[in-house]
Structure 1
Amino acid sequence: MINSKITLYNSLSKQEEELKTISDHEVKMYCCGITVYDYCHLGHARTCIVWDVVRKYLQWRGYKVTYIQNFTDIDDKILNRARKEKCSMEEVSERFIKAYFEDMERLNVSPADAYPRATHALDGIKKLVWELEQKGYAYQTGGDVYYSVHKFDGYGKLSGRKLDDLQAGAGGRANQSEAQKENDFDFALWKSAKPDEPSYDSPWGKGRPGWHIECSAMVREMLGETIDIHAGGNDLIFPHHENEIAQSEAVTGKSLANYWMHNGMVKVEGEKMSKSLGNFITIRELLEKYDPMAVRLFVLQANYRKPIDFTKDAMESATNGWHTFCEGLQFGIKHGTSLNWTEDTHHNMITSVQERFCQEVDRDFNFAAGVAILFDLAKDLRRESNILVHEGRTTLSSEELGDKWYTLITLADVLGLKVDFYEQDSAQTQMSDEEIEALVQERIMARKAKNYAEGDRIRDILKEQGITLIDGAGGVTKWHR
């Protein structure tokens, strides 16, 4: 494997740093997941694709990666939906967790190693709250437990926020009784039960956990007191990740994560995505219009830390780019026989391409530059495919073409770009060779009878099925998929 060093941008230090893991060749990585009260949207797609590819790349570079992503299944938004639909909070959560996995499978996002849920981590949550209370960082009032922010010296080190600048209620996610708190910016660790709400037993009475404490407890339970990478969208830097740091580090005295990484947000036609603006796009709606791999390519062609703008033009460009990738990825399937490849034919990675790919992506996961390198390979193979079809030859040797193709499919797999996802919907309706040959013969007969309109009609039918016809001398017609 390439020996160059991987650097990444650390949101905590505000600079790029060399990746140095706690254990050699191992990465413990946690990504803040979704609150399961609705279908996932375009922003979730970006977050899940980005960290999926970071994990894939680290694994390909030789690291053993333990990747954990949580589900928040206790939340006011879930509760409100359950009330509206007259069902339980658990029913809402289960429905949208199932939908999440369906959406991610279509986007070729590999499953995490584990998906802890807040409802399954209650013992760890209560233990952490109790420890914070014992150490003087938490206080109880009226059945609620709050974190006393001013007692943690490092508060604000991730976001750059100063306590003096914080506004009332900035640290909370749900409605809280402000009068009970010692300071406006203290945030809830445990919320006392309200009438007709789900609640759980605790040393402070019946209630449910605050949002921030859930992730602190799940990180600790699944990965330990200090992890390598903590990831998520940059909208989580404050207050969620800032509060995670305060909670975890106050108890352990250790860094919660050595590297904090955040992906940028998604805009739609230049505007922030929101239901009120009518530009809210779920993954399901998106995949009704666009190929899943075109969506993946769209996400990877941008710097992961920068905002991206979802526009019709951008998606058309990504779709065209994916078509080029497809032609390159299918090269060996289409032409392997013509090039005398067999099951025993061995192809090699092109070392120079692999080195360039690693050099680019090693710099803070520059997937856009990696995509550009693969795009050049795909274009080369598409050109050779056209020459082979139309002229019956290639400009490169069979061995060179095999190495190009092998390099492309190997590195594309690192990015999660797979051609079988592109073809899975059309495969079931694909014409057989016999059906194609029959239509080709019908067209030949029509042209001999000077019925050129019928010949053109048949050509169009075949073209819609992805079949190209090549008319040669003596009335001979060749075809290829």
Structure 2
Amino acid sequence: MTFRLYDSATREVRDFVPLEEGKAGLYVCGLTVQSEPHVGHVRSGVNFDVLQRWLRHLGYEVTFIRNVTDIDDKILAKSAEQGRPWYNLAYDMQRQLSAAYAALNVAAPTYEPLATGHVPEMVELIALLIERGHAYAAEDGSSDVYFDVRSWPEYGALTRQGVDDMEPAGDADPRGKRDPRDFALWKGRKDSEPETASWPSPWGRGRPGWHIECSAMAGKYLGTAFDIHGGGVDLRFPHHENELAQSRAAGQHFASYWMHNAWITTAGEKMSKSLGNSLTIPAVLQRFRGIELRYYLVAAHYRSHVEFSFEALEEAASGFRRVEGFLERMPDIEGGSVPAAFAAAMNDDLGTPAAVAVLHDTVREGNRLLGAGDEAGARAKAAEVRAMLAVLGLDPADPAWGAPAGNDDQLTHAVDVLVAGLLEQRAQARAAKDFAAADAIRDRIKAAGVEVTDTPDGPKWSLA
């Protein structure tokens, strides 16, 4: 089966054909580390982690670069508000981001470059653009350098916009621009900004613009041509449009495919700090385990907007506990091969909703076989479940998840997964109209000191 993905540039689902056979180069725009990471931030990390896991499952040697933007207007503004050095804020938030990724079992990329560590490469790229006639230094003495959007006929190709239909670029004072849509490649240092937030350049001290950072870092680690460029859908314009234009104008092929994950929303609006509706990862993890939050994010297709609620997260967590309940009954099972239906779903533009449906179908069949006394068949299904969970980064046995916080938490979790497994068997018996078997399972649960109550939302249990 061929892996097919939706290319945001062509707006078509295309066969993945890598530039080099057996290898895949992936670049993902990471976060600007200005504040604590929230659920909306980590979705991109989780989605592209699943992508790299699936590519590796298919046998590709993956080079995965995910950058960190650690110098930016927002970082300077936030650090000034808080009365601390900008680099201290960026470092602190970067550490919190890394902890959030670890809590959700987001595997480390091949390399995670910092923007501040690649200023020389950015200066070289800007100089090349000036030499080719696609960039210019402002004549107002500001030391700013801009990309000349009208010098590049393909500008707007990614998002299919005409230059005249675009809003002005709001990344710098327009006084030095030839066209209000021209965007900043280099920002001259202002007297109000700290000296440490600037570097020497042929145009005067300053710092790079946001867009040039990613082009320079992608080029350094993946070369002038690579396979997949990813990021949040909100980055398509202007960030990715500008990346593509400046890289192509510099003579690079750049990315062959573009992938964008959708937003996490609350009350229909993008989850963001500016809206005041964000939920930080530590706060969410006080109520749910990291593996449950990851399952919630993975179960939705990466291109689907997700309306976040704790009720939806609780429902997802309950579903995942049923999977754990089955595995608890099947200890010491190694991962096997993924079912063909799972592979077909993943090969169809990372179709995780259909893949998760296959996962649950396999768990149900495993529970049925176990209930019928076919332990060998159940163990085979458990091996498939483990293989699917490994691809999704959800295997409870993965050491990356660590142990529960304490003995009480561990006991509660163990009871939860065991009861969930029995309730799954009871539900199957009732669906088959085998009410005697269903009642027998309920009696077994009650004998263990657990009371089950049937509600419109499904069975609930509590200690009797």
Smaller-chain TM-score range? 0.7 to 0.9
Alignment partner, residue 173 of structure 2: 177
Q: Hey, what's the Cα distance between the residues in 1 that align with 2:405 and 2:334?
A: 29
Task: Please give the secondary structure, in 1, of the residue aligned with 2:286.
Answer: helix
Q: Hey, what's the Cα distance between the residues in 2 that align with 1:348 and 1:412?
A: 9
Q: Contact (CA 8 Å) 1:327, 1:378: kept in 2 or not?
A: no
Pair 1:285 & 2:270 matched? no
Alignment partner, residue 167 of structure 2: 167
Range with bigger deviation, 223-232 or 411-420: 411-420
Q: Hey, what's the Cα distance between the residues in 1 that align with 2:71 and 2:329?
A: 49
Alignment partner, residue 452 of structure 1: none
Alignment partner, residue 362 of structure 1: 347
Which is greater in Rg? 1
**Distance verdict in 2 for CA 1:137–1:348, change over 3 Å:** closer
Alignment partner, residue 479 of structure 1: none
Pair 1:188 & 2:184 matched? yes
Q: Contact (CA 8 Å) 2:188, 2:204: kept in 1 or not?
A: yes
**Distance verdict in 2 for CA 1:348–1:67, change over 3 Å:** closer
Alignment partner, residue 310 of structure 1: 308
Shift of residue 427, structure 1, vs aligned partner: 5.5
Pair 1:270 & 2:255 matched? no
User: For 1:59-98, what per-residue CA distance to the aligned partner results, in whole angstroms no more than 9, with x for missing partners?
Assistant: 0111111101000011011111221222211111111111
Q: Hey, what's the Cα distance between the residues in 1 that align with 2:240 and 2:66?
A: 14
Shift of residue 163, structure 1, vs aligned partner: 0.5
User: For 1:92-131, what per-residue CA distance to the aligned partner results, in whole angstroms no more than 9, with x for missing partners?
Assistant: 1111111111111110100111111111001100000000
**Counterpart code for 2:351:** N
Q: Hey, what's the Cα distance between the residues in 1 that align with 2:334 and 2:450?
A: 37
TM-score by length of 1: 0.81
Shift of residue 458, structure 1, vs aligned partner: 9.7
Task: Please give the secondary structure, in 2, of the residue aligned with 1:369.
Answer: helix
TM-score by length of 2: 0.84
**Counterpart code for 1:311:** S
**Distance verdict in 2 for CA 1:348–1:124, change over 3 Å:** closer
**Distance verdict in 2 for CA 1:23–1:357, change over 3 Å:** same
Q: Hey, what's the Cα distance between the residues in 2 that align with 1:181 and 1:214?
A: 20
Alignment partner, residue 424 of structure 1: 403
**Counterpart code for 1:227:** F
Q: Contact (CA 8 Å) 2:369, 2:377: kept in 1 or not?
A: no
Q: Hey, what's the Cα distance between the residues in 2 that align with 1:422 and 1:206?
A: 45
**Counterpart code for 1:124:** E
Range with bigger deviation, 34-43 or 295-304: 295-304
1:8-407 correspondence to structure 2 within 5 Å: 8-141=5-138, 142=141, 143-169=143-169, 172=170, 174=171, 176-195=172-191, 196-197=193-194, 198-252=197-251, 254-275=252-273, 277-333=275-331, 349=336, 354-383=339-368, 387=371, 395-407=372-384
Alignment partner, residue 385 of structure 2: 408
Range with bigger deviation, 154-163 or 193-202: 193-202
Count of matched residue pairs: 413
**Counterpart code for 1:378:** V
Q: Contact (CA 8 Å) 2:262, 2:303: kept in 1 or not?
A: yes
Pair 1:5 & 2:2 matched? yes
Q: Contact (CA 8 Å) 2:335, 2:385: kept in 1 or not?
A: no
Task: Please give the secondary structure, in 1, of the residue aligned with 2:339.
Answer: helix
Shift of residue 382, structure 1, vs aligned partner: 4.2
**Distance verdict in 2 for CA 1:314–1:416, change over 3 Å:** same
Q: Contact (CA 8 Å) 1:327, 1:381: kept in 2 or not?
A: no
Q: Contact (CA 8 Å) 1:269, 1:311: kept in 2 or not?
A: no
Range with bigger deviation, 191-200 or 259-268: 191-200
**Counterpart code for 1:306:** S
Q: Contact (CA 8 Å) 2:28, 2:67: kept in 1 or not?
A: yes
**Counterpart code for 1:184:** P
Shift of residue 384, structure 1, vs aligned partner: 5.5
Range with bigger deviation, 277-286 or 243-252: 277-286
Structure 2 gap ranges (5+): 412-445, 452-460
User: For 1:331-386, what per-residue CA distance to the aligned partner results, in whole angstroms no more than 9, with x for missing partners?
Assistant: 322xx6xxxxxxxxx97846xx621111111011101111110111223334556x
Task: Please give the secondary structure, in 1, of the residue aligned with 2:70.
Answer: coil
Q: Contact (CA 8 Å) 1:40, 1:282: kept in 2 or not?
A: yes
Q: Contact (CA 8 Å) 1:215, 1:244: kept in 2 or not?
A: yes
**Distance verdict in 2 for CA 1:327–1:122, change over 3 Å:** same
